[in-house]
Structure 1
């Protein structure tokens, strides 16, 4: 297989996870990095000791060895950086979610999509968590056709990021974009249908209430319920709580149809599991047929090396493997710009619904830009 040589843009917390997982890939290296923060740049130099530390994206793109790119910068920079790359040297890109953070950005994304000559893969790695992938693979047979889908994430609060950029909705797009675009992508991916209406309730109840940065109080939300109606007639619900880090499992997904139910339970990052409780829990998939009754549980262990390389149950590594095949072998892009657009649009609509107390119709021209 031809070698992937990543130019990495942004090496904060998620960028460092990407570096650790790229190091585990065969036929992959990181010859160049752009990271403006000195602390993160120093950590990146340790993780990728052979990399040139570029002073800008333009300088990174002059490194001849670079033949693909990873964008893992703060949310509000993603689209701007894609546009800069398009203007200088458009290479294949794996770009972190979310693609954009405000409704007015959608027209710029549409222009980029129409003109960018190389593959762009949006980093929706939750699809590639082994228990989630197993559940998706078996969902049709287990349910007889999904009519109800529920995703619950009970987790720890937002972690500290460089410059505290993730404490403000204007930088992140809002919690239902920043955190939950993964889950909206999963809804579309699992149900194989597009959303038509979204209703939500959310807010800031426990976390960040006393956090002030440069005289401004954090406005990021820490909990929400979101209900989504799909064109297929299926319904989906998201339950998010970011002050529930005492939970045994971080994500729990259930899909139900006329034949039965299938669900998966995904533990959170092992580094947060209390040592006095012993080994961290192992992911599970549970199939519960209506007849004959009798739930069956299968554990889905993940390679410990992959668990140690990041906080996403091995999915970052598997995502890079698939991106590598798409770039080198011409396999299809599995998470497209359209997928990334829908995930953000659903998050923005949920933010709007929660703020206004009204359901949002996604057939509105306001949301139909791409």
Structure 2
């Protein structure tokens, strides 16, 4: 059986989804809705056999359709999910964040309780090979995680269609838009829910002089977030979006009474300096307390997957699993509940940083 996809949004991330879906067996993107003319033209070139439509209603009316992938700007997700629910409930892979406005929490919760088909929230960082290896081994290596640190030192926000990602009211704010991945990882790795959030963040280097249609960009480019969990574990996020010169983009450290496990993930291969050797290899480092002696395990990613996107192969692995959800009836590994929690944590961090206070969850 060929799995037939409808694609909602074909910007930069939408193009990555196209390339990764095409790497899967027995898949076809049959219909696409993208309102931006330039992005639509790129999608039509990449998908000569797909039908381009001018509305979500028209996409949902398309007969040859088995599942949906939502890759529209953040602030569109909730309304589009509700429109789909009203017209044709199909399996969905929805890009993060699930919603952006705190007022939409009730709607997101109601949608999660009532939507009859599976929905996978696209937290692809779970599926980066070194991160997946850390998740699998963390409990055994640490003896129970007490401290979890996630550091992302990366490039600035890239240009998006209509500059939507330069404004908090569209993106949800940096700690939602960019960091909900990491809050999702915290809950997953620690196997617990957060109870309080403390953050300090701001706009320090990037975007200071950016003005779009007469409005100054208010998106942040750095921050620290500390999260306490019900289990008693603590987690910290460190974000810098003016550190593209780093050897590794993501670094995760989990520590417990038995030892420590860490992973290092390089940034997109296309950004690696051409005058230098090949990008570093992603890997895991296991560091027991006794007997002492760190051990490195490389987790290389096939070149075809690196070429298909900017997320260390994880978009492909995510789509493999989503394909099983649709064809075999498996439950989504990243649920709507997971997506809601990740947004709530990001929104709490935004409030904490803005109001200089601890936010209880």
Query: Given the two structures, how large is their TM-score scaled by the length of structure 2?
Result: 0.99
What residue number does 1:245 align with? 244
What residue number does 1:353 align with? 352
Query: How far apart are the structure 2 equivalents of 1:114 and 1:61?
Result: 22
**For 1:109-188, what aligned pairs fall within 5 Å after superposition?**
109-188=108-187
What residue number does 1:366 align with? none
- 1:306 and 2:305 aligned: yes
Query: What displacement does 1:48 show?
Result: 1.4
Query: How far apart are the structure 2 equivalents of 1:101 and 1:213?
Result: 20
Residue aligned with 2:239, SS: strand
CA distances 1:27-68 after superposition (whole Å, capped 9, x unpaired): 111000000101100111122111000110110111111110
What residue number does 2:67 align with? 68
What residue number does 1:36 align with? 35
Query: What displacement does 1:4 show?
Result: 1.5
Query: How far apart are the structure 1 equivalents of 2:46 and 2:190?
Result: 38
Query: Given the two structures, how large is their TM-score scaled by the length of structure 1?
Result: 0.97
Query: How far apart are the structure 1 equivalents of 2:300 and 2:123?
Result: 21
What residue number does 1:3 align with? 2
Query: What displacement does 1:330 show?
Result: 1.2
- 1:91 and 2:82 aligned: no
Query: How far apart are the structure 2 equivalents of 1:6 and 1:79?
Result: 20
Stretches of structure 2 that go unaligned for 5 or more consecutive residues are none
Detail structure 1 runs of 4+ shifted over 4 Å in the superposition.
none
- 1:339 and 2:329 aligned: no
Query: How far apart are the structure 1 equivalents of 2:27 and 2:133?
Result: 27
Query: What displacement does 1:140 show?
Result: 0.9
Stretches of structure 1 that go unaligned for 5 or more consecutive residues are 363-370
Query: How far apart are the structure 2 equivalents of 1:193 and 1:175?
Result: 23
- 1:279 and 2:275 aligned: no
Residue aligned with 1:279, SS: coil
Query: What displacement does 1:114 show?
Result: 2.0
Query: How far apart are the structure 2 equivalents of 1:111 and 1:137?
Result: 32
Query: How far apart are the structure 1 equivalents of 2:295 and 2:180?
Result: 30
CA distances 1:262-288 after superposition (whole Å, capped 9, x unpaired): 000000000000011111111010000
Query: What displacement does 1:211 show?
Result: 0.2
